[in-house]
Structures are given as structure tokens and as C-alpha cells.
Amino acid sequence: MKNLKLKKPLDVTTTDLSGSVFLAGPCPRSNYHEDWRFEAYQILEELGFKGTVITPTNDQYMEMRKTYGDNMLAKQTEWERKMMHMCSALVFWVPRCEKWPAFTTNIEFGEWYKKHGVYFGFPKDATRMEYLTIKFSEQKKSCYNDLRTMLRDVVNDLQSSKHKKWFTGDTHFGQERTLQFSCRPFVDVVEMDLTMISNWNKNVRPNDIVYHAGDFADYSDMEYLRNLLEQLNFRELHWVFGNYDRKFQKEIKEIVENFNTTHDGDRKIIIYDQVQSNNCVVKLDDKEFMVIHEPYDFPVPHAETYLYGHIHGRSFAKRNGFDLGTDYHQFTPISEEQVLWFKNAMQYWDENVYIDRVLVK
């Protein structure tokens, strides 16, 4: 593991997670040198994987119990929960046998198998894998029986250079007010943020381009924003300032400038503000779109279609555009194909669809 970046249990540093892989599956309780993950590390190195590998195997568990006592299991469980959400690919390899019954893996698999960015496989001699195979296949996903083949596909996916475009807005990471006022379906801000980070990272690849329609985060803790930008996948982030962002534009611009300098062109953030006529225009399939925050009714068109935020999914369609806000799109960025699908669908909508329709007496 000369060149592999490895993150082990209870490593609380959450930066450098863009393009990371979590190796889920049974962990040895003893004889840690028998862990199947050593083979996975070697394969990933041979494949030229450049991201971080996250392992739940904790060969220091008993030693750490001396410090954390009965809270050790809860700490390990919470760490695994966070890392499973933050990673870009969640890889289940399940060599189930009498020595490795994989009871915990069954529960984790049940929580994740329907989601995007999840891989699943097991060696042909693994026992009692029929039910997991059926459930995974129901999602039109393919199971693997070869660890190298599965990891090859993971690396090819994460290191793809297609530069696909994604769109979102009004994430409000870390903001309790948005959780409450927008009635978001999460028990707390931690669950809200982890869900949005997971949905972002398991769809957006590290070389992709993201357009954000504003109100990115809560700004009471700028260090949280700084870490968040390092955790999220993107090669370019085109960030259109929202009304919350504009209140802290000086502080945000300092963080963005530092981010761009640190990454030296490998990753970059570009800021726009429609109030200052600094417009974000993007072309998809020869169609012109402008990403904005507030959904104004522009008297003079600056683009063919406006992609806006601000309204948190309360009314999706206007005659000149539609809502990008994460509340409307299941807290997940939408792809350029989805944007074009909505654009095409607009021609078939009747008068009752639009929130700015003219009422005829």
C-alpha cells in the first residue's frame, strides 16, 4: 500500500474524500491479517486508483475500548455511517462463511442496496447469498463474482473523464432553519447533510461539472463550508449566489479563492451573481439555459430557459423555466439529461401547470 490513501475507523478528518471508496462487508474479529481488504488494496493500487480507500476494519478496537469504554461501539457505528454517506462508491464484497457470517453486513446492505453508487459482489463459494442477490437484481443492478472485475468497474466509473453536467440549488447545508421551515424529512441537520452529500457524491463523479443555483450552506461556521467543498465531488463548481450567500459574499469569496489556489486548476469554483449582471449561461444540446437564484419574470430574455432556485420546490414550473431546488428533486442533483427532458416536456404542459399563468375571467 505504498501509494494508497487509507482512512481507518475513527479518523475524524473529513477532507480529501472526493472520489473515495468505502469497502463494506464482513470484518475479522481477530486474525486481522486475513482481512479480504488486503487483496482489494493491492488490486486498487494495480488499477491506479487515485482516491481515498475507507475501511471499517478496526484492528485497534479492543485497545480503543480502554479509552471510550461502552461508547466504543456507538462511536465506530457513527463513524461508519458518516463514511458510507460521504464516499463516492460503496462497495459490498461479502465472502460469507462460518468464520465471517456478515450479520452486520446484511443490515447495511438492506439500508443501501436501492441507492445509486452501490456495488455488490461475493465469491462463488460464499454461502447464503441468494436473497441478497435477488434484492440487488430487482434494482436492475449486476452482481459480481470477481473482486478485481468489480473494483475495475468502480475505478473506471470514478475516474471517468466525461465531464458530465449536473444541476442543483438551495442545499442549505448545515442550516437548522431550512430543515424546519421547508419541512425536510430528516430527524436532524446531520441526517439532512449526510443524505445530500451522499446523493451528490454517488451521482456526481470527480471530473464532472456542477451548477448550483444558490444558497449553498449555513455560514455560522465557515470552517464547515471549507471542509464541505473538499468533500463534494466536482471538477468545476459553478456557484450562483443566492440571497443567503450574498450576505456573506466576502467570506465565501476568500474561501473560494483559497480553494482554487490550493487545487491549482485541478478543481475550481466559479462564482456568479445575477444582481450584478454576472450571469451563468450554459449550453446543452444547442439549447441555452441560464442558472439563476430568484425566479424573476425577465421581460427581456437572456436565455431560452431559466433554471432557478429560491422557492424550495413549492411551485415547479414557470413559462420561462423550472426549479432546480434540491427539495423538489429528492435532495439529489439532476443530470443534464434530466434538464433536457424537462425542457422538452414544457411544450406539452397545459395552462394549469404554470405558476405565472394568466387567469381568464
Give tens-digit pLDDT for 95-109: 999 999 999 999 999
Report the DSSP pairing between strands 52-54 and 118-121: unpaired
Written as one letter, the residue type at 167 is: F
Q: Is the pLDDT of residue 1 over 80?
A: no
What is the rounded CA–CA span in Å between residue 315 and residue 299?
A: 20
Q: Which residue has the higher pLDDT, 15 or 308?
A: 308
> What is the per-residue pLDDT for 355?
67
CB-based contacts of 151, cutoff 8 Å, min separation 6: 40, 43, 44, 47, 49, 91
The average confidence (pLDDT) of the chain is: 92
Tell me the pLDDT band of 215, cut-offs 50, 70 and 90. very high
Average pLDDT over residues 195-217: 97
pLDDT tens per residue, range 316-356: 888 888 999 999 999 999 999 999 999 999 888 887 777 66
Q: Which residues contact 46 (CB under 8 A, 6 or more apart)?
A: none
pLDDT of residue 301: 64
* Band of residue 360 on the pLDDT scale cut at 50, 70, 90: very low
Domains along the sequence of the chain with CATH: 5-158 (3.40.50.450), 165-348 (3.60.21.10)
Phi, psi at 89, each rounded to 5°: -140, 125
DSSP string, 34-69: G-THHHHHHHHHHTT--SEEE----TTHHHHHHHHG
Confidence at residue 158, expressed as pLDDT on a 0 to 100 scale:
95
Strand partners, 291: 280, 307
Model confidence at 242: pLDDT above 60: yes
pLDDT of the residue at 357:
53
Average pLDDT over residues 181-187: 95
Residue 300 in this model has a pLDDT that exceeds 60: no
How much is the pLDDT for 361?
43
Beta carbons of 20 and 7 less than 8 angstroms apart: yes
Residue whose C-alpha cell is 474524500: 17
DSSP 8-class letter at 276: G
| Percent of the chain residues topping a pLDDT of 70 | 96
Using CA of residue 244, residue 248, residue 250, residue 256, what is the dihedral sign?
negative
Confidence of residue 359 (pLDDT cuts 50, 70, 90): very low
Give the span between the Cα atoms of 283 and 297, in whole angstroms: 21
Q: What is the mean pLDDT of residues 175-181?
A: 95
Average pLDDT in the 194-212 region?
97
For the chain, percent of residues with pLDDT exceeding 90: 78
Distance of CA 136 to the CA centre of its chain: 21
Q: Write out pLDDT tens, residues 117-130.
A: 999 999 999 999 99
Reported confidence tier of residue 298, pLDDT bands at 50, 70, 90: low
pLDDT digits (tens, 9 = 90+) for 41-63: 999 999 999 899 999 999 998 88
In this prediction, residue 96 carries a pLDDT of 96
What pLDDT is attached to residue 151? 98
**SS3 label, residue 80:** helix
